[in-house]
A and B are shown apart, each in its own frame.
Chain A
Amino acid sequence: MARVLGTRLLRLVATLFAVTFLSFLMTALLPGDPAVAVLGVEGVQNEELLLEVREELGLNDPIPVRYVNWLGRAVTGDLGESYINRGVPVAQTIQERIPVTAQLAVMAIIIALVLAIPLGVLGAYKESRWPDTASSAFAQIALSVPNFITGIFLIWLFSVTLRWLPASNWNRLGNGVVDNLKTSIMPATALAMTQMAIFSRLVRSDMIATLQENFVLAAKAKGLTDRFILLRHALRPSSLSLMTILGINFGALLGGTVVIETLFAIPGLGFRLINAISQRDIMVIQGITVFIAVVYVVINTVVDLLYAAVDPRIRRS
């Protein structure tokens, strides 16, 4: 196990290098001159000032040099400063906003799992019969409706019509769990529906395959109840694809909640990222992109390690 962890860690570091370099490269290659963005309209006229700012930002160095400089500071936690809001460290922005987005992503995944596992298991158990057809139809609908439509529907139902929940005014978790839940449950649910659809399809198809296995028949021949067989024998071996997707989608959610964050006026990371992109605030874009990429890689490494927990046969290799 220690050796497995060791090689995994090495691989993780290598991947992190690649990922940070690629994200850095791509943001550096974005069209438009960051110096222009910094100076605003009047700066464009002043050639001297432009050159000065370019020098100051290190934009005249070749990209690999800029990357190494940036990386050197990044590993100490210094991701630079915003070009637009001068003096505001990018790390601070991320630190402020990641709890919001991470909370949304975690809640969305949990809600999705809580709905998807029973639906997927039921679908597989009653394959091709009405409960399966019904849950498939539900998943299909959930999959084809975009997040923000679900969000708008939830706002219409719970904020406008029933007046149970506020449609905006995000409450930080620090302000009390209940108050926070009131503002987070709708956006999280809106995000969860697509995930739920994907997860339940995966659980269903993996479970259908597992239920064909000999050991399921052997468990039945022991007189165990169907429920016990489904949940205690078949579910675990049917959850490997689910775990893979879970890792990938969690990473995607961290950067992909922007529409929902906008809809519910949530001060999250995605919201800030879109802002930065429209302002050509390269440092912020770079910082957030690299951060999300790193989280992505780390999560997927954790998922890889979790495989072994789910399937003991993997532990050997």
Chain B
Amino acid sequence: MASNDLLTVQHLSTTFETPAGSVKAVDDVSLSLKAGSTMGLVGESGSGKTVLSRSIMRLITAGGATTTGSVLYRGEELLTKSSKEMQALWGAEMAMVFQDPMTSLNPVVRIGRQMIEHVQHHLGLSKADAVDAAVSLLRSAQIPEAEARLQAYPHELSGGMRQRVCIAIALACGPNMLFADEPTTALDVTVQHQILNLLAEQQRERNMTMILVTHDLGVVAGRTDEIAVMYAGRIVEKAPTDTLFASMRHPYTEALLRAIPKIDDPKQTKLSAIIGRPPDLINPPSGCAFSPRCPYVQPKCREEAPTLTPGESAGHEFACWNPVGSPEAEQAWQQNLEGGLLQTLAAAGKATATEEGATPVPVAANEAAQ
């Protein structure tokens, strides 16, 4: 743990007790962020990205949830802070942009009040000063007619505008740490880019530390210093962004990369989408959680869960017995291909992957058609 880390998370786990059993949504996650750096948190839906971000911020409100481990922010433990102490940090020191701008603004409260209430509360500004600050924030978030917008209700704005407002709200008190939880998932593709660029720009200008959550590796590619890939509540690979894209080692990361929509070749994308569904977190598979879907799976994978171990290059860690590119992986791949393992066939483009993962069809006919 370097001393210039703003945030250090160690062995963080969050479990929900439900009638069906306990859901280990975040399982023994450790990570750290230097001040001013940006981390991309990537994984499929249900992999625990939201629960992890909220656990770090202490924003898990569900009854029956327990969070264990340690979250050090500027060297102070957050998990033991009182809710009053957290209230002083929330909004002021650390802020969050939520997944869905349609529902994260109060529909019956004018934008203006939603933008200034916490500024007045945290910074003690007068109403007039807070309004001025809000207007200039809206301008910097590229919202036209900023003054008029303050009088508007959320439903009067488009989705993209709302997310800009949410970003402005999150930035209003000048937080040092920002969690952006899939800030663009609910938006159109063109708007997505604008919003991501806005976030990146503000992050640079303010030298904020940021965790950018997404299920799309393409989103974090040019925008983060580091990437952590989550699967079934765990971090399965973590590396500086360049390293990750140059030499990813975890089969799941590889699968995610293949799943990035390729606009010029949509057929290819569909063929190589990941087979199957994320595992049941109440009764996770034994051994490696990715084993039911992994093209490189070997008997050992089903018996023993791999742990995060450092790779050759600095800051690169992954949890896999047969890391991509290794001789073991090569061998496993060949073996599975010959054995006709569906996920391997699909990854090799020799079967149709279905999102449901029910019955992938071997595609001799398909191949002939191409």
Task: Identify the A interface with B (CB < 8 A).
Answer: 128, 213-215, 217-225, 228, 232-233, 236-237, 310-313, 316
A223, B91: Cβ atoms closer than 8 Å? yes
B107, A221: Cβ atoms closer than 8 Å? no
Among residues of A, the one whose C-beta sits closest to the C-beta of B94 is A221
Q: How far is the CA of A220 from the CA of B155 in the complex (A)?
A: 21
B107, A215: Cβ atoms closer than 8 Å? yes
Is B118 interfacial (CB-CB < 8 Å)? yes
Given A214-B100, A221-B57, A312:B155 Cβ within 8 A: yes
Among residues of B, the one whose C-beta sits closest to the C-beta of A309 is B108
For B57, the chain A residues whose CB sits under 8 A away are 221
B103, A223: Cβ atoms closer than 8 Å? no
Given A221-B59, A224-B121, A233:B91 Cβ within 8 A: no
Q: How far is the CA of A267 from the CA of B92 in the complex (A)?
A: 60
What are 30 contact pairs spanning A and B, CB under 8 A? A215-B105, A215-B106, A215-B107, A218-B105, A218-B106, A218-B166, A221-B59, A221-B98, A222-B90, A223-B87, A223-B88, A223-B90, A223-B91, A223-B121, A224-B91, A224-B117, A225-B87, A225-B121, A232-B109, A233-B106, A236-B108, A236-B109, A237-B108, A312-B108, A312-B153, A313-B107, A313-B108, A313-B153, A313-B155, A316-B155
B107, A220: Cβ atoms closer than 8 Å? no
Given A312-B153, A313-B107, A313-B155, A221:B87 Cβ within 8 A: no
Among residues of A, the one whose C-beta sits closest to the C-beta of B118 is A222
Is B95 interfacial (CB-CB < 8 Å)? yes
Most chain B Cβ neighbours within 10 Å, of A218, A232, A313? A218
Give B253 Cβ to nearest chain A Cβ, in Å: 30
Give A226 Cβ to nearest chain B Cβ, in Å: 8
Q: Which of A213, A310, A313 contacts B103 (CB 8 A)?
A: A213
B117, A222: Cβ atoms closer than 8 Å? yes
Q: Which of B59, B87, B153 contacts A217 (CB 8 A)?
A: B59
For A222, the chain B residues whose CB sits under 8 A away are 90-91, 95, 117-118, 121, 169
A220, B90: Cβ atoms closer than 8 Å? yes
Other A-B pairs, 10, CB within 8 Å; known A214-B104, A217-B61, A220-B61: A214-B98, A215-B106, A217-B104, A218-B96, A218-B98, A221-B95, A223-B87, A224-B118, A233-B106, A312-B153
Q: How far is the CA of A236 from the CA of B106 in the complex (A)?
A: 10
Grouping DSSP codes into helix (H, G, I), strand (E, B) and loop, the A interface class, with mixed when no group exceeds half, is helix
Among residues of A, the one whose C-beta sits closest to the C-beta of B166 is A218
Given A223-B88, A316-B155, A218:B104 Cβ within 8 A: yes
Q: How far is the CA of A218 from the CA of B91 in the complex (A)?
A: 10
B61, A311: Cβ atoms closer than 8 Å? no
For B92, the chain A residues whose CB sits under 8 A away are 223
Q: Which of B96, B104, B155 contacts A215 (CB 8 A)?
A: B104
Among residues of B, the one whose C-beta sits closest to the C-beta of A234 is B106
A-B pairs with the 3 shortest C-beta distances? Answer: A223-B91, A223-B90, A222-B91
Q: How far is the CA of A200 from the CA of B66 in the complex (A)?
A: 31
A223, B153: Cβ atoms closer than 8 Å? no
Give A26 Cβ to nearest chain B Cβ, in Å: 41
Among residues of B, the one whose C-beta sits closest to the C-beta of A311 is B108
- Considering only residues 128-180 of chain B, those with a C-beta below 8 Å from chain A are 153, 155, 166, 169, 173
B96, A221: Cβ atoms closer than 8 Å? yes
Give B2 Cβ to nearest chain A Cβ, in Å: 28
